[in-house]
Amino acid sequence: MRRKATPEELALLKARIAYQWDWNVAQALLPPGEEFKVDIVRGRIRYLLTRDGKVYLTVRPNDGFLTPSLTAGEKIRESADPPRFRIVIRRDREIRGSVLARDVIGVDPALRAGDEVIVVTEDDALVGVGRLRVPPVMMRGLVYGEVARLRSRVK
């Protein structure tokens, strides 16, 4: 069931965003006065949609954490100072579905495996959004292998 989001629902989502990322990201993703829609599945919010009906954030049903779309990933990139929430890759690499260890040149040390990340180039251009598969501490020692799986990428 799709409907306009209530102020209480937006406040709840803003608190979840602040917990998962930080308050600056929450303010950027859900600015005051902006209209959003919610898609309710089995009595719970499953998707936060933009005014025109595009998926903006998805609430994971197993743990309640949020997965961002590319639009939300761009807002996260704009609102968080580098290297927060980022994996930095080489500019000349073509990323398809996975970020490989050999492509990584920098990563936010505060991230943990399973965290939602934005993948950017050296000049902070968004490449995609996905989920971190390996802790940053282990990345330093890896020569090959998948370090993050992209959910969506910039074409």
DSSP result, 34-81:
---EEEEETTEEEEEE-TTS-EEEEE-TTT--EEE-HHHHHHHHHHS-
- pTM of the shown model: 0.93
What per-residue confidence (pLDDT) applies to 5? 97
Peptide bond into 31 cis (omega under 30): no
Paired residues of 44 in beta bridges: 41
Compute the C-alpha angle 27/30/32, nearest 5°.
80
- Tell me which DSSP letter residue 142 carries: -
Q: What percent of the chain has pLDDT over 90?
A: 92
Predicted confidence (pLDDT) at residue 155 exceeds the cutoff of 90: no
**Structure confidence by residue, pLDDT tens digits, 91-115:** 898 888 899 999 999 999 999 999 9
What per-residue confidence (pLDDT) applies to 110? 96
Q: Please give the domain boundaries of the chain with CATH numbers for all domains.
A: 2-76 (3.10.450.90), 81-153 (2.30.130.10)
What per-residue confidence (pLDDT) applies to 126? 96
Q: What percent of the chain has pLDDT over 70?
A: 100
**Structure confidence by residue, pLDDT tens digits, 28-86:** 999 999 999 999 999 999 999 999 999 999 999 999 999 999 999 999 999 999 999 99
For range 12-22, the mean pLDDT: 97
Measured CA to CA, the distance from residue 105 to residue 87 in angstroms comes to 8
What per-residue confidence (pLDDT) applies to 17? 98
Q: Among the residues of 54-151, which ranges form H helices? A: 70-79, 136-139
Measured CA to CA, the distance from residue 11 to residue 141 in angstroms comes to 41
